[in-house]
Amino acid sequence: QKEVEQNSGPLSVPEGAIASLNCTYSDRGSQSFFWYRQYSGKSPELIMFIYSNGDKEDGRFTAQLNKASQYVSLLIRDSQPSDSATYLCAVRGSARQLTFGSGTQLTVLP
Amino acid sequence: SQTIHQWPATLVQPVGSPLSLECTVEGTSNPNLYWYRQAAGRGLQLLFYSVGIGQISSEVPQNLSASRPQDRQFILSSKKLLLSDSGFYLCAWSDQGNTDTQYFGPGTRLTVL
């Protein structure tokens, strides 16, 4: 079982819709959770982090964490074509280093 | 504000040749530094991390090595490249006080032929 799993996609949504990206992790001792956005050919850019169960909102982005279910998600409201990228989930587990998922490719269709 | 630089941006090297990639951070002191590799269509693999000058931890045994000769400088090296060393090499930093949140440099795309 992979430590951090994401649906590889590709995920396509129409402009203005809500994009939902999901991530599960295996280490129950994980404490910190991150979402990075990576445009094609570029390096990852941090967009959200969450430490506590529940929702955390930042502009059009909402991160949701459920530690009991070992599940973290990212919602993007009012999706724009500029949101088209690969989204990486990263988890800081008991080993104190970040483990990254393989990413979900999102395409927002105009 | 903090800035992280990597060079070169792209590199094409023959198998068996040496490698040296450099990363520098500005605007912070005593950062934690990290080297990751991203193979095509894959997630990020942590290669090395450093909590201070001369302190290097290796996550994956391989033909690569890392050094930290100065507080804000991190170097990735190899004596002889393999085809499997091709990939996108990313340097990242984090604050000593908040080691979880990592910020990435622009990366070096390495092709070994």
CB contact under 8 Å between A97 and B59, yes or no, is: yes
Q: How confident is the model at residue A52 (pLDDT cuts 50, 70, 90)?
A: very high
- pLDDT at residue A105, as a whole number: 94
Q: Are A86 and A106 within 8 A, CB to CB?
A: yes
Q: Do B107 and A42 touch (CB under 8 A)?
A: yes
Q: What is the pLDDT of residue A9?
A: 80
Provide the H-helix boundaries in A27-84. Answer: none
pLDDT, tens digit, 9 for 90 and up, residues A78-110 = 999 999 999 999 999 877 789 999 999 999 999
The pLDDT, as a whole number, for residue B100 is 79
Looking at residue B8, its pLDDT comes to 97
- Which of left, alpha, beta for B59 (phi over 0: left; psi -120 to 50: alpha)? alpha
Q: What is the pLDDT of residue A1?
A: 61
Q: Mind telling me how many Å the CA of A38 is from chain B's nearest CA?
A: 11
Q: Is the Cβ–Cβ distance between B112 and B11 less than 8 Å?
A: no
- pLDDT tens for B76-87 read 999 999 999 999
**Cβ separation of B43 and A103 shorter than 8 Å?**
yes
Q: Judge contact between B100 and B34, C-beta under 8 A.
A: no
Chain B partners within 8 Å of A65 (Cβ)? none
Cβ-proximal residues to A103 (8 Å cutoff; 6+ apart), any chain: A6, A8, A38, A86, A87, A88, A89, B43
Q: Please give the pLDDT value at position B40.
A: 79
Query: At B41, is the pLDDT very low, low, confident or very high (cuts 50, 70, 90)?
Result: confident
